[in-house]
Structure 1
Amino acid sequence: MTTSGDDRSVRARDIIGSQVVTGENSSAIMKGVKVVLPAPETVDVAGELAALRALLAEMRVPDAGKLDRALQDAEEEAAKPQPDKDEVGGALERVIKYAKAADDFSGHAEKLQQRIAPLVSWLGANWHRIAIAVGIAV
């Protein structure tokens, strides 16, 4: 990488699967991080949603009330004896939408991926788009 003047060009070899970010105080989210999902029957949905709630509480989300209501919808539906996974998935899509608006989203992306991956496994293949929304390739 050159370091002279305003030239921020990158010259490198063998950096496949890596990120190169230029500029001062820059950050980036690596998209398409491959994750192996746990078996759906092993997922503690209530525990994962509680952990997701705790993580989201750390973030600076502009529409915190909407995010909270979406997460509450997911929690309420998941707690039913026969939860409607499409209802939970739809609520989680709203959660991700509001979380992505947070000014510190990139700083929490990896932790979000850890919370979302098990939930996506439990929801099933119809909901892999939630994983993709937070940069997980499934």
Structure 2
Amino acid sequence: MTTPDTPGDNRSVQIGGSVTGSAVVTGDSNTVSVQFQQASLPAPETVDIQAEIEALKDIFASLNNPTITGAAEEMAQEVAKPEPDKEIIADALETGLKRIQKLADFGDVIDKLRPHIEATAGWLGMHGHKLLPLVGLAL
């Protein structure tokens, strides 16, 4: 087997930094659409995390799905602790959001979720950044 020497035949991609909010595509005649909103994360100390988790819990509960409800309960239990583990909260929220994305009515729910995810991600700091693309937000 031979390796192509013609420039443009190599379809590999190397990325040296963040491509959040971008689409990386190889191939010919591709059309790509990237839709996201720029997130404006609040300072962690300005977020009422109890209120945000309660709002998310209410939205999650309205979807009548045991996995989503379980994720909401896990977040609520963790945030009630004197020193909540932000990674646990972020992981539970990610689980719930990924399950919600698979629901037929995700498009109806995303607008309700977005402001609460943005605020919660601000409070979570680096643990929350992975949540933003799940609701169409990017830094």
Regarding TM over 0.5, the answer is yes
* Alignment of 1:108 onto 2:114: no
Q: 2: CA distance between counterparts of 1:70 and 1:57?
A: 10
Q: CA deviation at 1:102?
A: 1.6
The answer (yes or no) to whether the contact 2:61–2:69 under 8 Å persists in 1 is no
Aligned partner of 1:130 in structure 2 is 131
Aligned partner of 1:71 in structure 2 is 72
- Deviations along 1:75-111, one digit per CA (max 9) or x if unpaired, are 1111111111111111111110111122111122122
Amino acid at match of 1:57: A
Gaps of 5+ in 1: 1-29
Give the structure-2-normalised TM-score: 0.70
Amino acid at match of 1:116: I
Q: Give the paired residue count.
A: 106
**Looking at CA atoms only, which structure, 1 or 2, has the larger radius of gyration?**
2
Q: 1: CA distance between counterparts of 2:120 and 2:48?
A: 9
Identity of aligned residues (%): 34
Amino acid at match of 2:53: L
Q: 2: CA distance between counterparts of 1:84 and 1:57?
A: 22
Over 3 Å counting, the alpha-carbon distance change for 1:56 and 1:70 in structure 2 is closer
Q: 1: CA distance between counterparts of 2:61 and 2:75?
A: 16
Give the structure-1-normalised TM-score: 0.71
What is the RMSD of the two structures over their aligned residues, measured on CA atoms? 1.5
